[in-house]
Chains A and B, each alone.
Chain A
Amino acid sequence: MKVLVIVPAFNEEKNISGVIADLRTNFPAGDVLVVDDGSCDGTAAAAKAFGVPVLKLSYNLGIGGAIQAGLSYALREGYGPAIQFDGDGQHRAEEIPKMLAAYQNGADLVIGTRFLHEGDYASSLQRTIGRKILSFIVSVLIGKKITDCTSGFRIYGKKAIELFSEYYPEDYPEVEAIILAHKKRLSMKEVSVRMRPRSGGRSSINTPRAAYYMIKVILAVLIGLLRG
């Protein structure tokens, strides 16, 4: 089993070294690929200093484009499964084996979720409400309970790699990807993981964008259902 850990990073100069060190220590079995999504700081150089291959995108494609690039690379280099692991230090490498076990028990897409057993993940009220609404909509639509549909901590099995390297949603893609996976009859599993609060850098979603986010995602989810 060749495991690729895809680390999407956009201007994560401060965090990327810590993320790679974490992966090297706590999940040495996986090959690491940093996808530098058009950063204008030293993200790529910091990753190369570890001897990690860096897939440098010429300009910023957004998280969806970066993940798709990583998955295309995984497909071409014969990797399977591929793990999506954020470059900002929120995800913990020590949680990977737990998720990998779920993958090996037969799942095409494993989602590392923060909320299955009320963990230590603190979140604002606004986010909690937004997350519950999304989770409710998605769960009703696909007829399967998904607690944390915006989590970016995921394992893609070979089927999912093939599907998503062909088409992966742009612009807040996590929720749409779940719908797509459901339509294509991929099996999904959620695994409870602990995450760190964000250290350096800013989240891609701030208050003014939250409304746009919700509308865009709900629209995308509904359109996704209409697609064949």
Chain B
Amino acid sequence: MDVIQIIAMAFSGTIFLVIIELIRRNYLKERYSLIWLAASIVLMVFSVWRNLLHLIARILGVYYPPSVLFLLALGFLIVLLLHFSSIISSLSDKNRRLAQEIGILKLRLSALEERTGLPASKKQKKRA
């Protein structure tokens, strides 16, 4: 086992632990962390089992084995970005619904306050 392999194992192990810690502290939601966990596990496997890269390269017919790493990294990034885009879409949808809901509630609240002459509205007017 040479230096570079030890560094690679320490690095990928650290990434895995950092991700676990982020989830534990609720900085990262489980459903968004799965893809990162998977990536860090793949990294660990590659750093422990170095010949895997050569094996894959031979199967795929890749002449220069390290470029398999770039291929995997690129694939991972594309999946990640797609994942983010879909999360953004669903968030913006929820955001829009919230803005509409708030608008409707504000309108109904002001109508209610006008009708009942609740002190809440008077106080607010004074403050404003």
Contact = CB atoms under 8 A, between A and B. Distances in A.
A and B are interacting partners: yes
Contacts of B118: none
A69 B111 contact: no
Secondary structure call for the B interface: helix
B107 A65 contact: no
B102 interface: yes
A56 B102 CA distance: 9
Contacts of B96: 61, 65, 68, 170
Interface residues of B, number: 10
Interface in A60-98: 61, 65, 68-69, 72-73, 76
A56 B103 contact: yes
Interface size range of chain A in the complex: 10 to 19
A57 interface: yes
B100 interface: yes
Nearest to A62: B96
B106 A56 contact: yes
Interface string A172-190: 0000000000000000000
Contacts of B106: 55-56
A100 interface: no
B104 interface: yes
A47 B29 CA distance: 44
Interface in B84-128: 96, 99-104, 106-107, 111
Interface in B49-104: 96, 99-104
Given A65-B96, A170-B96, A57 B103 contact: yes
Contacts of B101: 72
Given A53-B107, A59-B99, A72-B101, 17 more contacts: A55-B103, A55-B106, A55-B107, A56-B103, A57-B100, A58-B99, A61-B99, A61-B100, A65-B96, A68-B96, A68-B100, A69-B99, A69-B100, A69-B103, A69-B104, A73-B104, A170-B96
